[in-house]
Structure 1
Amino acid sequence: MNSAANPTFEAYGHLLKTPENWAALGWAIDQQHFLTALEDCRRFRNGLMHFSPDPVTDDQLLPAQGLLELLRSVDPQI
Structure 2
Amino acid sequence: MHSAANLTFGVYKHLLKVPENWAALGWGIDQEHFLAALEECRNFRNGLMHFSPDPVTEEQLRPAQGLLELLRSLDPQI
Instruction: Measure how far apart 1:51 and its partner are.
Output: 4.8
TM-score by length of 1: 0.92
Residue 40 and residue 53 in structure 1: after superposition, are their counterparts in 2 closer, same or farther (change >3 A)?
A: same
- d(CA) in 1 for partners of 2:13 and 2:52? 23
TM superposition outliers: structure 1 runs of 4+ over 2 Å: none
Q: Structure 2-normalised TM-score?
A: 0.92
Higher percent of residues as helix: 2
Q: Which residue of structure 2 lines up, in the alignment, with residue 69 of structure 1?
A: 69
Aligned to 2:47: 47
Structure 1 gaps of 5+ residues are none
In 1: Cα distance, 2:61 partner to 2:67 partner: 10
- Number of matched pairs: 76
